[in-house]
Amino acid sequence: MPVDPSFAGRTYPPTEPYDVGREKIREFANALGDDNPAYHDRDAARALGHPDVIAPPTFPVLLTFGATRRLVEDPELGIDYSRVVHGEQRFAHARPVRAGDSLTVTVSLETVRSAGGHDMLTSRSDIATVEGEHVATAWSMIVVRGDAS
Amino acid sequence: MSSPAPARPALEDVAVGTELPPQTFTVRRADLVRYAGASGDFNLIHWNERVARSVGLPDVIAHGMFTMALAVRVVTDWAGDPGRVVEYGVRFTRPVPVPDDEVGATVEVSGVVAAVLEDGRVRVDLTATSQGQ
């Protein structure tokens, strides 16, 4: 059953704060096999002008992963998760995420469109510190495959 | 690849068509398990072959977000300070199957400068391929 395009614009309440830790950043960078000193060494990060170690560009997925889940679990949208494929992903950083940040995410369903029997939903996740500083925005486009395929 | 004091490319040395040093990444099952743990994405299709095949996939596939994270290394290693990446987007065109062996899958990433903007930002077009696709 196609997703009703009129759901576009719907916004979900902000998430509970996520505290970004140095060791979590290092763990994430290690999982990527990336030994860039900016991710691991506070002094190296400071030498680059950052207050603490910074996170890799895709680290916010840890926070926005829940965005897709919110849409998928919204009973009114009626999405079948087994038919969901990740189509596109984009991040825009006002500044890098860094250790010591306490971040909340506000998710909205930006667009809904259908093509070729599939639904394409783009969610927008606005990431901000608990103090209200905008840090990054992530867009995630998921494809919900239609019944025919 | 990284060094203690990464060199930053000077803007005057960057022009449309400038090629970034390409990189090749090997992705084995253990890498997917490690990424699953670090990212919190425990979708079974990224580590359980039985489940992956049951939903029509040829094998366990890499997380798209893992491939995305690897691909941007070409830019962050080149830029020196990974904090200089202000925007990054990808389109996922094909899954990367990861066989259960010591060889794993290979992801080759190349990048070329597509635009140099007036405010000093540089747009790089990245291409990631695996098994020629």
The predicted structure's pLDDT at residue A3: 82
Confidence of residue B1 (pLDDT cuts 50, 70, 90): very low
ipTM of the complex: 0.93
- B39 contact A CB<8A: yes
Count how many domains chain B has: 1
Which pLDDT does position A146 carry in this prediction?
81
pLDDT of B2 > 50? The answer is no
A112-126, A134-148, B26-40, B88-102 — which is least confidently predicted? A134-148
pLDDT, tens digit (0-9, with 9 covering 90-100), for B79-123: 989 999 999 999 999 999 999 999 999 999 999 999 999 898 999
Say which residue the tokens 């494809």 belong to: A143
Q: Is residue B10 part of a domain?
A: no
- What is the CATH classification number for the domain harbouring B112? 3.10.129.10
Partner-chain residue, chosen from A65, A87, A96, that has the shortest CB–CB distance to B40: A65
> Is the CB of A37 less than 8 angstroms away from the CB of B2?
yes
Query: Model confidence at B4, in pLDDT bands (50, 70, 90)?
Result: very low
Is residue B83 included in any domain, yes or no? yes
Token pair belonging to B34:
């490690």
Partner residues linked to A147 by β-bridges: none
Contacts of B55 in chain A (CB under 8 A): 82
Cβ burial, residue B120 (10 Å; 0-12/13-18/19+): exposed
- Cα distance from A5 to chain B (closest Cα, Å)? 22
Contact A27 B89 (CB under 8 A): no
Lowest mean pLDDT among A82-86, B60-64, B88-92: A82-86
The structure tokens listed for B41 are: 């994405």
Distance CA A88, CA A143 (A): 9
Q: Is A102 on the interface with B (CB under 8 A)?
A: no
pLDDT at A149 over 60: no
Per-residue confidence at A79, pLDDT binned at 50, 70, 90? confident
Q: Which residue has the higher pLDDT, B99 or B10?
A: B99
Structure token pair of residue A116:
């070729």
Q: What is the mean pLDDT of residues A4-21?
A: 92
B68 touches chain A (CB under 8 A): yes
Q: Buried b vs exposed e over B57-77: b needs ≥16 C-beta within 10 Å?
A: eebbbbbbbbbbbbbbbbbbb
Let me know if residue B114 belongs to a domain. yes
Asked whether the predicted pLDDT for residue A66 surpasses 90, the reply is: no
pLDDT tens, A39-65?
A: 999 999 999 999 999 999 999 999 998
pLDDT band at A145, cuts 50/70/90? confident
Query: Which residue in B65, B70, B106, B123 has the most chain A C-beta atoms within 10 A of its own C-beta, making it the best mutation to test that interface?
Result: B65
pLDDT of residue A148: 54
Taking 70 as the threshold, does the pLDDT of residue B3 lie above it?
no
CATH code, A13-20+59-144:
3.10.129.10
What range defines the domain where residue B32 resides? Answer: 15-129
Query: Tokens at residue B67, please?
Result: 């491939």
Residue B110 domain-assigned?
Answer: yes
**B70–chain A Cβ distance below 8 A for any pair:** yes
